[in-house]
């Protein structure tokens, strides 16, 4: 319980800091700035962080591998591919249509990844993320090629490099869908943990394995699509947060999913604040900050795993 | 309880089991023995509806097992399998608690918690109950997984080589637990390699060879010099020491 109040205190502190961190001061038009920019930006970071961390832990249960998350399983790349395609086919499409297209391709891309992973030999867990990275790389390359051919590279850059500086009231609200889905995932917490025990164990316990897989996949795909469309890809959150939480609290999702969500929210918001102050008054995108911090944390996790066998 | 009729199971066109007709006697401890590759695990997983059937049928209480909804079958039949490694980082108690899932759907009552604690105690896991599985030895993890199967309280309990990786003390524990299950009115089938254990603990023995039923019946009729020598294609002697039958393989 001490952990719970600690996490809440940290999140509250970060929220306050986030509201007061930026180039313009809150004096003068402060209230306007607070409501139109700072609060939405803070909410966006919290929602994206929480939902991406949850998406990561779901992916890890579905693929039964600790080193998988939407950005290393082709999910995020497939969402970006869908965005490029819909932008080419219907340049004026509404945001929800883009979101829909990105969700569909993210779903197909992730299902493709899981089908691929099932064929891998089970004894080498590192093959799974490596396959995912190559698979995501291929989809990413196809996306880049398509965007390059049709002069859409600038758009692509926005979707690939996640950042929050463009977030304003009225331009981030789709992220609430991701946040709500992270909450819905909690209702399925037991089922996802059981899927993590393996298909046979799940069947023996009377779980509808296929239905649980499809539910998990859909949640992951929508979260990835919504975050990619709204703010761009944010790497490593879904990988690093669940692994660290698992080290301390285990992986019984019914108990740990709220901790995963809160830690993801805190990590992304902290990285966004860091990005705002490191080269003040300029900003460093949160995706870049997390790329550095996340990669370091990932290496540390791998190192620890190698040591413990 | 479970009846197998003319069962055939095939993988990639090769038949693993053929013409198999047998039954697990209700309320009895049945040992399944036979050489490697005889189809023991396949038979067990087919009865546990984890392996698809090619032809023939498996009846559970008179109904084809494939026709019973997965969720309701899970309340009545539990199966322990060797092959599945557990990837999520769960404590022993967490894992065993999932054995109650078919009954509780994640909302355990006091009675469920009692069953979970009993399963922990029956398998000598009390001192590890709050440890994570990845900090335990292979044998300890295996007992935790057996605990989950026990907590499921199925009328039929199928155990695939539960004694592998276990030292003699814990092998005895598992056989004692299997006997307790029989005393509670359950039907238990257990794949065994140790023929002496089969001879002394089981009420009924099913011997498989080359995917077919070789022999079945009471242990003293199946586990004989001639029967075993023919089953394993090697000379096997049965001796009796202090009233216990010992199968000599050396």
Q: How far is CA A47 from the centre of its chain?
A: 10
B14 touches chain A (CB under 8 A): no
* Structure-block tokens of residue B220: 């003293």
**Chain B, window 57-76: residues with a beta carbon less than 8 angstroms from a chain A beta carbon:** 70-75
Contacts of A251 in chain B (CB under 8 A): 88-90
| A114: closest CA of chain B, how far (Å) | 16
* Structure-block tokens of residue A304: 């620890």
Collapsed DSSP state (helix, strand, coil) of residue A52: helix
Please give the tally of structural domains in chain B.
Answer: 1
Number of residues written out for chain A: 309
- Count of Cβ atoms closer than 10 Å to residue B120 Cβ: 23
* Structure-block tokens of residue A56: 């990561």
Mean pLDDT (whole number) for B23-30 = 96
Closest C-alpha to B123, from B100, B101, B141: B141
Domain ranges of chain A: 48-308
Contacts of A245 in chain B (CB under 8 A): none
Q: Do A197 and B98 touch (CB under 8 A)?
A: yes
Closest C-alpha to A194, from A73, A62, A55, A56: A62
Q: How do residues A63-78 score in pLDDT, each as one tens digit?
A: 998 889 998 899 999 9
A308 vs A258, which has greater pLDDT? A258
Mean pLDDT (whole number) for B54-78 = 94
Residue B14 is part of which domain span? Answer: 2-248
- Is residue A309 predicted with pLDDT exceeding 50? no
Nearest to A205 among B74, B85, B90 (CB): B74
Q: How do residues A17-60 score in pLDDT, each as one tens digit?
A: 998 888 777 777 778 888 888 999 999 999 999 999 999 999 99
Contacts of B99 in chain A (CB under 8 A): 205
Average pLDDT over all residues of chain A: 90
Average pLDDT over all residues of chain B: 94
Q: Are strands B156-159 and B204-209 parallel, antiparallel or unpaired?
A: unpaired
| ipTM for the assembly | 0.92
Q: Do A205 and B91 touch (CB under 8 A)?
A: no
Mean pLDDT (whole number) for A191-215 = 94
pLDDT score for A306 = 57
Facing residues of B188 across strands? B29, B157
Q: Using pLDDT thresholds of 50, 70 and 90, give the confidence band for residue B84.
A: low
Q: Which of B87, B112, B133 to mutate to test the interface with A (most CBs of A within 10 A)?
A: B87
Q: Which of A206, A216, A253 to mutate to test the interface with B (most CBs of B within 10 A)?
A: A206
* Sequence-distant (≥ 6) Cβ neighbours of residue B143 within 8 angstroms: B123, B124, B125, B166, B170, B173, B174
| A308: closest CA of chain B, how far (Å) | 9
Fold of the domain spanning A48-308: ABC transporter involved in vitamin B12 uptake, BtuC (1.10.3470)
pLDDT score for A263 = 96
* Sequence-distant (≥ 6) Cβ neighbours of residue A182 within 8 angstroms: A50, A51, A54, A55, A223, A261
Q: Are strands B77-80 and B2-11 parallel, antiparallel or unpaired?
A: unpaired
Q: What CATH number does the domain containing B156 carry?
A: 3.40.50.300
- Is residue B88 predicted with pLDDT exceeding 70? yes
| B235: closest CA of chain A, how far (Å) | 37
Collapsed DSSP state (helix, strand, coil) of residue A187: helix
DSSP string of B44-110, one letter each residue: HHHHTT-S--SEEEEEETTEEGGGS-HHHHHHHEEEE-SS----S--BHHHHHHGGGHHHHTT---H
Q: Which of B81, B89, B135, B145 to mutate to test the interface with A (most CBs of A within 10 A)?
A: B89
Q: How do residues B183-240 score in pLDDT, each as one tens digit?
A: 999 999 999 999 999 999 999 999 999 999 999 999 999 999 999 999 999 989 999 9
- Sign of the alpha-carbon torsion through A158, A164, A169, A172: positive
Mean pLDDT (whole number) for A219-234 = 92
Q: Are strands B237-241 and B244-248 parallel, antiparallel or unpaired?
A: antiparallel
pLDDT score for A215 = 96
- Is residue A3 predicted with pLDDT exceeding 80? no
Q: How do residues B50-59 score in pLDDT, each as one tens digit?
A: 999 999 999 9
For chain B, percent of residues with pLDDT exceeding 70: 99
């Amino acid at each position: 319980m001490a952990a719970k109040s600690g996490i809440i205190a940290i999140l509250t502190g970060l929220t306050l800091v986030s509201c007061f961190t930026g180039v313009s001061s809150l004096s003068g038009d402060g209230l306007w700035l607070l409501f139109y920019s700072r609060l939405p930006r803070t909410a966006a970071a919290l929602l994206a962080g929480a939902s991406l961390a949850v998406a990561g832990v779901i992916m890890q249960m579905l693929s039964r591998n600790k080193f998988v998350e939407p950005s290393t399983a082709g999910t995020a790349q497939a969402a970006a591919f869908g965005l490029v395609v819909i932008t080419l086919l219907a340049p004026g499409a509404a945001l929800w249509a883009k979101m829909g297209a990105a969700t569909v391709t993210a779903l197909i891309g992730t299902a493709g990844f899981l089908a691929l992973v099932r064929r891998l030999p089970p004894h080498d867990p590192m093959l799974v993320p490596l396959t995912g990275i190559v698979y995501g790389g291929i989809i990413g390359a196809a996306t880049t090629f398509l965007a390059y051919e049709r002069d859409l590279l600038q758009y692509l850059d926005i979707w690939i490099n996640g950042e929050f500086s463009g977030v304003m009231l009225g331009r981030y609200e789709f992220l609430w869908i991701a946040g709500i889905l992270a909450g819905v995932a909690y209702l399925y917490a037991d089922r996802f943990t059981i899927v993590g025990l393996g298909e046979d164990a799940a069947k023996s316990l009377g779980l509808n394995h296929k239905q649980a897989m499809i539910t998990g996949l859909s949640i992951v795909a929508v979260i990835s699509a919504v975050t990619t469309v709204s703010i761009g890809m944010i790497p490593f959150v879904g990988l690093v947060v669940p692994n660290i939480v698992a080290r301390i609290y285990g992986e019984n999702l019914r108990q740990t999913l709220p901790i995963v969500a809160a830690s993801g929210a805190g990590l992304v918001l902290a990285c966004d604040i860091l990005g705002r102050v490191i080269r003040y008054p300029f900003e460093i995108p949160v995706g870049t900050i997390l790329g550095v911090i996340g990669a370091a944390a990932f290496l540390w996790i791998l190192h620890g795993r190698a040591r413990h066998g | 309880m479970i009846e197998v009729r003319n069962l055939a199971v095939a993988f990639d066109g090769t038949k693993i089991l053929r013409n198999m007709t047998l039954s697990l006697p209700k309320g009895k401890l049945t040992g399944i023995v036979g050489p490697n590759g005889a189809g023991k695990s396949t038979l067990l997983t087919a009865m546990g509806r984890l392996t698809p059937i090619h032809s023939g049928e498996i009846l559970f209480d008179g109904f084809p097992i494939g026709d019973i909804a997965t969720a309701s079958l899970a309340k009545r039949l539990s199966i322990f399998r060797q092959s599945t490694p557990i990837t999520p980082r769960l404590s022993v108690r967490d894992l065993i608690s999932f054995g109650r899932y078919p009954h509780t759907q994640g909302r355990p009552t006091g009675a469920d918690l009692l069953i979970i604690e009993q399963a922990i105690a029956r398998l000598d896991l009390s001192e590890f109950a709050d440890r994570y599985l990845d900090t335990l030895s292979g044998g300890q993890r295996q007992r935790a997984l057996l605990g989950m199967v026990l907590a499921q309280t199925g009328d039929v309990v199928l155990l695939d080589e539960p004694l592998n990786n276990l030292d003699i003390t814990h092998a005895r524990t598992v056989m004692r637990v299997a006997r307790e299950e029989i005393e509670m009115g359950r039907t238990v089938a257990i794949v065994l390699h140790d023929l002496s254990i089969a001879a002394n603990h089981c009420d009924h023995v099913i011997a498989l060879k080359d995917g077919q039923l070789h022999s079945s019946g009471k242990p003293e009729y199946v586990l004989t010099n001639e029967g075993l020598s023919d089953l394993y294609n090697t000379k096997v002697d049965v001796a009796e020491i202090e009233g216990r039958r010992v199968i000599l393989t050396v």
